[in-house]
Amino acid sequence: MALFAFSSTAAAEWRKHYMLPVSAGLGFATAVIHIYALGPYIGPISETFGWSRTQTTIGLTIATLVQAVFGIPIGLMVDRYGPRKFGVVGVLLIATAFGLLGTATGSDLNWYFLWCLIAVAAMPVHATIWTSAVATRFEASRGLAFAVTLCGASISAALFPVMATWLIGAYGWRVAAPVQAAIWVGIAFPLILIFFRGARDGGKRGGREQPGPVPDMQGTSLASGMRSSIYHRLLVASLFFTFTIIALVVHFIPILTDIGADPLGAAGMASLIGIFSIIGRLGTGFFLDRVSGSLVGAIAFMLPSISCILLLTVGETFMAQAIAAMLIGLTLGAETDVIAYLTSQHFGLKNFAAHYGGLLAAFSIGIAFGPLGASMAYDRYGGYDQFLLLTLFFMVISSIAVGSLPRPRFASGGPQS
């Protein structure tokens, strides 16, 4: 029964700061609007300008690579100045930059420029900003608080494509982009402005924000942490895992249609990924607070391997496709939670944002090249079998890398004021 108990300390954290993970989740959802809302725009934009779909989507690769380069510098600034200023300003910048896609002229240079604006605007809303604020307020229930925060990505994956599709059908893609951005900012920004404040951000006095002293957080130095084999294992797990899981998600419908599923049925199966990613994220957060984080991560990272085996052997059956989608969704909902939690446990909170920013750089590289690698494998071999085998191998490596981590040094986090 102890496994399912909710301690008085955890309950106190939620009573005092329950809106922080919620507002951070809305911020994180805004941060990925250019990723999860892009799909419905690809076809109309390609048709308008006569572009290939590769040409239309290359901007996403540009944006994620820029995030990879600046992951650690952004983390260092967050550790020094606190996350609130970045988050409040950043949600306005990324929404505006996404809305500007509606002004595209059809020139390659103009299109790349618009995506460079998105890349710059996405820096202040890096996942580091949202998780670092939550980490300073939650200790006993940090895993669940991270899960609620990172559910923002799952919500955006479920909501943004539907919103974009409706707006494009009603008004065309040029109007849809800025309207979608404005609607979401109208929902998210007020809650972020009021409730998003970590321990490093101070409090309010007389209605005005006061900087206050920066809490004395425990943790390793950035240089020491990055030299450790623990950090290297987390880097390997982050890179290999994201490279394959994002490619599996992007290419899941083509994988199923390639083995005989009809497009509508394949789309229905793919929807299970989004549903189970929410279940996986909240479930992962629950168990991270009660079971070894390394064990939770090792198990979660192995689940897509089962999906690959099913797709390679009995993938034409309904049950195999459904189970494969559910397992991919469970793991998709676990990945950032596990890495963020283990980062705080092994390196403390003193330089959490910088350490996590480096690991998010590996995530960004995986997102940039994973779907592209799957496409190249398909073009070369005429199918996805080779990529599924590679995914199986990479997932095993990721699971071993996380599962082999030693007992964490900073299991007690830092001040929870």
- Over range 194-219, report the average pLDDT: 62
For the cut 70, the answer to whether the pLDDT of residue 2 exceeds it is no
DSSP E strands, 255-347: none
Tell me what the mean pLDDT of segment 223-236 comes to.
Answer: 92
The Cα 182–Cα 92 span in angstroms is 9
Q: What pLDDT band is residue 206 in, cutting at 50, 70 and 90?
A: very low
Amino acid 1: pLDDT: 44
- pLDDT of 417 over the 60 cut: no
Mean pLDDT of the chain: 84
Residue range 315-340: mean pLDDT, rounded: 88
Q: Identify the pLDDT of residue 217.
A: 66
Q: What is the pLDDT of residue 416?
A: 38
What b/e readout covers 352-391, taking b as 16+ CB neighbours within 10 angstroms? bbbbbbbbbbbbbbbbbbbbbbbbebbeeeeebbebbebb
Compute the distance between CA of residue 321 and CA of residue 180 in angstroms, rounded to an integer. 33
Percent of the chain with pLDDT over 70: 92
> What ranges do the domains of the chain cover?
13-216, 219-406
Q: Please tell me the distance from the alpha carbon of residue 106 to that of residue 284, in angstroms, as a whole number.
A: 44
Identify the CATH number of the domain defined by range 219-406. Answer: 1.20.1250.20
pLDDT value of residue 272: 82
Give 51-87 pLDDT, tens digit per residue: 876 777 788 888 888 877 877 788 788 878 889 999 9
- Mean predicted confidence (pLDDT) in 198-212: 55
What confidence category does residue 207 fall into, taking pLDDT thresholds of 50, 70 and 90? very low
CA distance 80 to 119: 22
User: If you average pLDDT over residues 227-247, what whole number do you get?
Assistant: 90
pLDDT digits (tens, 9 = 90+) for 97-156: 999 999 999 999 999 999 999 999 998 888 888 988 898 888 888 878 888 898 888 788
Residues 140 and 9 sit within 8 Å (Cβ to Cβ) = yes
pLDDT of residue 216: 53
Does the domain at 13-216 match CATH 1.10.3720.10? Answer given as no
312 pLDDT band (50/70/90 cuts)? Answer: very high
Residue that wins the pLDDT comparison between 49 and 35: 49
Neighbours of 199 (CB within 10 A): 22
- pLDDT confidence of 23, banded at 50, 70, 90? very high
In this predicted model, what pLDDT tens digit does every residue of 354-397 receive, in sequence order?
888 888 888 888 888 887 788 778 778 888 899 899 999 999 99
Whole-angstrom distance, CA of residue 288 vs CA of residue 292: 7
pLDDT given at position 180: 96
Token output for 125? 């809303």
Helical spans, DSSP H, in 172-228: 173-195, 222-227
13-216 against 219-406: fold identical: yes
Going by pLDDT thresholds of 50, 70 and 90, the confidence category of residue 263 is low
For residues 228-237, average pLDDT: 94
SS3 341: helix
Write the CA distances from 269 to 38, 40, 70, 246, integer angstroms: 20, 18, 36, 16
pLDDT at 36 (0 to 100): 76
pLDDT at 296 over 70: yes
